[in-house]
Amino acid sequence: MIKFTDQHEWVRVEGEEAVVGITPYAAEQLGDVVFVELPEAGRKVDQFKEAAVVESVKAASEIYAPVGGEVVAVNAALAETPGLVNEDALGKGWFLKLRIRDKGELDKLMSAEEYETYVKGL
């Protein structure tokens, strides 16, 4: 299951963990990603609060946690190849993995269909 925020983050639930990244729409709006600042493993993040930072040739933007939890892994490949975010936002361009604190928070997020409708309205 994949869910989306109105700030263009996505979360894919894999058991008790959640993989987090930004949507292809967000990557396109940012332009070429040149740097990603990721949190330390073990850091606790709250839903809709800053979890990472992405910088592009156009701007720097905060990445907000779609769900709260503890960071259990980060995508170290982004340090060497931040362009993975542009190339494969929903796959190899993921940012971090969280151990989900409260799966009920997923109910506050949009489905793929709802997100697609939301983006069309922008």
Question: Domain extents for the chain?
Answer: 2-106
What digits encode the pLDDT tens for the residues 37-96? 999 999 999 999 999 999 999 999 999 999 999 999 999 999 999 999 999 999 999 999
pLDDT at 53: 97
| Mean predicted lDDT score pLDDT of the chain | 97
Dist. CA 65–CA 94, nearest whole Å: 12
Phi, psi (degrees; rounded to nearest 5) at 116: -60, -45
pTM of the model: 0.96
CATH top-level class of 2-106 = mainly beta
Mean per-residue pLDDT, 92-118: 98
- Running DSSP on this structure, what letter comes out for residue 103? G
CB count within 10 Å of CB 73 equals 14
Enter the DSSP assignment of 48.
T
